[in-house]
Chains A and B, each alone.
Chain A
Amino acid sequence: GEDVEQSLFLSVREGDSSVINCTYTDSSSTYLYWYKQEPGAGLQLLTYIFSNMDMKQDQRLTVLLNKKDKHLSLRIADTQTGDSAIYFCAESIRDGGFKTIFGAGTRLFVKA
C-alpha cells in the first residue's frame, strides 16, 4: 500500500544543521516534496525532487533521495528559530490520475 513515514520530532540548536528523514513505499513515485507548515496555516512548498534525481540543493536546503532504499531527507543548514515548524514529506504517485500521499510531519524545534 501507499505509506510515507517520518520521525515526529526533531530538536536542534540555532546555527546547527537539521536533517529530517522520510521513507516511502510506493515505487511509482514521480515527484517527492517537502512542505513546511506553520501553526494554524496551510502548507508551503519548500522544495521538490524528481524521482530520477539523487540530490537537489536550494540555498540552505539540500534534498537527498535514495531511490533504492526509498529514503528521502531534507537538510537545513544554519537552522534558525524561524525554521521551527512542521515539515511534511510527500510523494506523488500514479493512481489512475495522480495522487499525493503525505507523511505525518516532523515537528522541528529550534533552540536559541
Chain B
Amino acid sequence: GAVVSQHPSWVICKSGTSVKIECRSLDFQATTMFWYRQFPKQSLMLMATSNEGSKATYEQGVEKDKFLINHASLTLSTLTVTSAHPEDSSFYICSAMTGLRMSYGYTFGSGTRLTVV
C-alpha cells in the first residue's frame, strides 16, 4: 500500500534555531501534500497545502515566513520551522492524497514531535 515516510520522528532544538521536517511518498507520486499540527488531546489543524512546483497555500493564521514549505519533487515535501520558540512545540504530521480519487483517503506520515527548549 501507499506509504508516507516522515523524518525525523522526534527532535529537540534550542529556541531561535530552525528545524526541517521531511515528508516522502515512497511508492507513489504526490502532487499535493498537507501539513498538520496537533496539540495534545486535540485534533489535527491543517497548516498548509503543499503543491509540487508551486507555492504552498497556507491556512488563515499560519505564518508563512515562520513555517516554510518546499515541495520540489513529486515525492518530497519539507516543512521548516524557522526561529523556533517553545510555543512551536507540537506534533507535526504530513499527509498525501493516495491516488486520484478522494475515496482512497489520505495517507499520513508517522508524525514528528518537536520540542523547543
* Cβ of B89 under 8 Å from chain A: no
Closest to B112 in A: A42
Partner of A50, one of B6, B43, B103, B111: B103
Quick one: which of A41, A43, A92 contacts B95, CB cutoff 8 A?
A43
B41 cross-chain contacts in A, Cβ below 8 A: 8, 104-105
At the interface, yes or no: B28 with Cβ under 8 Å from chain A?
A: no
- For residues 66 through 86 of chain B, which have their beta carbon under 8 Å from a beta carbon of chain A? none
Chain B residues with a Cβ closer than 8 Å to the other chain, count: 22
Cβ-neighbour of B43 out of A31, A40, A105 (below 8 A)? A105
The one of A4, A40, A45, A100 in contact with B46, judged by C-beta atoms closer than 8 angstroms, is: A100
Q: List 28 A-B contacts (CB under 8 A).
A: A8-B41, A31-B105, A33-B105, A33-B106, A40-B111, A40-B113, A41-B111, A42-B6, A42-B95, A42-B108, A42-B110, A43-B93, A43-B106, A43-B108, A44-B108, A45-B105, A48-B103, A48-B105, A50-B103, A88-B44, A98-B102, A99-B49, A100-B106, A101-B46, A102-B43, A103-B43, A104-B43, A105-B42
B residues sitting closer than 8 Å to A (CB atoms) are: 4, 6, 9, 34, 41-44, 46, 49, 93, 95, 102-103, 105-111, 113
